[in-house]
Amino acid sequence: MSQPGGTFDIVILGAGSGGYAAALRAAELNLSVALIDKAELGGTCLHRGCIPTKALLHAAEVADQTRESEQFGVKADLVGIDMAGVNAYKDGVVGRLYKGLQGLMKQPNITLVQGAGKLVAQDTVEVDGKKYTGRNVILATGSYSRSLPGLEVDGKRVLTSEHALKLDRVPSSAIVLGGGVIGVEFASVWKSFGADVTILEALPRLVAAEDEEISKTLERAFRKRKINFKVGKPFEKVEHTENGVKATLAGGETVEAEILLVAVGRGPTTKDLGYEQQGITLDRGFVITNERLHTGVGNIYAVGDIVPGLQLAHRGFQQGIFVAEEIAGKNPAVIDENGIPRVTYSDPEIASVGLTEARAKEQYGADKVTSYNYNLGGNGKSQILKTAGFVKLVRVNDGPVVGVHMVGARMGELVGEAQLIYNWEAFPEEVAQLVHAHPTQNEALGEAFLALAGKPLHAHS
């Protein structure tokens, strides 16, 4: 597609979650937009992240349900995993969403530009020798899979999540380096598909950013699922063996497997894009902004994974909407980073919003914080699904709930109410008045609030 260049209200570099959300909101506000990307519209989340991984996780759930169907009195045999079929299903989901997104972008206020852009002036992005000038510029160039010094990703035995999404077979065994979100999600998928999995995590626990009790419950569930993990020891090196790889941990312990997935975080894509030359401040590659996402240079803003904080698509969406409204003079409310919901789609699922108990105690004082755990064992729908876990509430005494943490099957679906509770600063006594449908898993959240308000129903006080 050849564009003549031109002048726009906003030039956006990067058409992933942050960039395309900014474009759509700006167009609604009657601003003209040039949306530039060297790859596909939709970015990492749609093509190489959230969507395809969640399709794999759903296929994994179907495999587990089939394998374990007899506990529900249903007889079925799991004959095998046809990766070509799984990938066709996954690619079909991505393809339909991609088509829908392309349709949304076909509007007079948005000019899509295909090509690698570079910031060449404070108001100009150059693509293939053509200049796109913006009264405002939004940087939204996203992130890439990080590796470690000395760890060479070859895409065959040592993979990033991008490679792992394209595997045409189920590996017989896998080492997952990093027990964060990507690590536990892929470990969960591969185990469900029949692989022997070992997670290596340098920190003392899996999903270390979550509340400590959540980590413990996930670890217990993973042990039960026979997912191996070694925590508290950093990884030292990986070597190729005849049939795969051998990883060595600090202290000398080794683990062998067919493949190794590197899941040690994602770095910001900000190199060689002209950002520093135009005076933008980078910190370890991340673009520094104020709370209104302005870089302090010209009319340049930044959104999404290049801005320090949670690297989540829905944060990118909200930041994109925020900046479009800011540019349109609508003075939107600053986004509370703690109010952004977080979901890890492993089996069991983890969902949380707000502060962990430890963070709340740091912030408000240990004697000013109360927490309450409602065990899913008392929840009818969770019993029906045969899942274990809990809902944990963290409240400031005589004040609102400042943290909601959940672990168990399908807990991701409860995070919607949890984020309203956090962001509306609800008191337990207020939520306890509201009715939760029976029997739903959502009721577990209601029960936790009843208990915290001093009137438990299906729980002891």
User: Residues touching ligand NAI: how many (CB under 6 A)?
Assistant: 25
Q: Do residues 146 and 158 touch, judged by C-beta distance below 8 A? A: no
Q: Which is nearer to ligand NAI, 62 or 148 (CB)?
A: 148
Q: Which is nearer to ligand NAI, 237 or 330 (CB)?
A: 237
Give yes or no: 436 in active site.
Answer: no
SS3 242: coil
Q: Do residues 334 and 291 touch, judged by C-beta distance below 8 A? A: yes
Kindly indicate which of the ranges 5-13, 89-97, 195-203, 359-367 contains the residues binding ligand NAI, using the contact rule CB under 6 A.
Answer: 195-203
From CA 244, how far away is CA 260, in angstroms rounded?
Answer: 9
Q: Is 341 in the site for ligand NAI (CB under 6 A)?
A: no
Query: Which tokens hold the place of 238?
Result: 């990986």
From CA 136, how far away is CA 159, in angstroms rounded?
Answer: 38
Applying CB under 6 A, among 171, 178, 244, 268 the residue interacting with ligand NAI is 178
Helix axes 17-28, 313-327, angle to 10 degrees: 30
Tell me: is residue 178 an annotated ligand-binding position.
yes
Tell me: is residue 185 an annotated ligand-binding position.
yes
Tell me: is residue 179 an annotated ligand-binding position.
yes
For residue 199, the cross-strand partners are 176, 229
Q: Which residues contact 218 (CB under 8 A, 6 or more apart)?
A: 184, 206, 207, 210, 346, 348, 350, 407
Applying CB under 6 A, among 10, 35, 41, 264 the residue interacting with ligand NAI is 264
From CA 62, how far away is CA 185, in angstroms rounded?
Answer: 15
Q: Is 201 in the site for ligand NAI (CB under 6 A)?
A: yes
Kindly indicate which of the ranges 5-13, 257-265, 332-340, 430-438 contains the residues binding ligand NAI, using the contact rule CB under 6 A.
Answer: 257-265
Site string for ligand NAI, 209-238 (x = CB under 6 A): -------------------------xx---
Applying CB under 6 A, among 123, 185, 349, 443 the residue interacting with ligand NAI is 185
Q: Mind giving me the DSSP string for 113-148?
A: EES-EEEEETTEEEETTEEEEEEEEEE---EEE---
Q: Which is nearer to ligand NAI, 164 or 376 (CB)?
A: 164
Residue nearest to ligand NAI (CB): 180
Site string for ligand NAI, 310-329 (x = CB under 6 A): -xx-----------------
Question: Taking CB under 6 A as the criterion, which residues in 134-153 touch ligand NAI?
Answer: 148
Query: Which tokens hold the place of 51?
Result: 């969507």
User: Which helix (H) or strand (E) covers residue 112, if one does?
Assistant: strand 110-114
From CA 11, how far away is CA 124, in angstroms rounded?
Answer: 8
Tell me: is residue 412 an annotated ligand-binding position.
no
Q: Is 200 in the site for ligand NAI (CB under 6 A)?
A: yes
Tell me: is residue 54 an annotated ligand-binding position.
yes
SS3 237: strand
Kindly indicate which of the ranges 91-99, 201-209, 282-290, 316-324 contains the residues binding ligand NAI, using the contact rule CB under 6 A.
Answer: 201-209
Q: Which is nearer to ligand NAI, 111 or 188 (CB)?
A: 188
Applying CB under 6 A, among 116, 202, 420, 453 the residue interacting with ligand NAI is 202
* Secondary structure letter of residue 171 according to DSSP: -
SS3 424: coil
**Nearest CA-CA partner of 93 in 62, 58, 51:** 51
Q: Is 18 in the site for ligand NAI (CB under 6 A)?
A: no
Q: Which is nearer to ligand NAI, 50 or 459 (CB)?
A: 50
Residues labelled catalytic: 438
Applying CB under 6 A, the residues found at the interface with ligand NAI are: 148, 177-183, 185, 200-203, 208, 234-235, 263-266, 311-312, 343-345
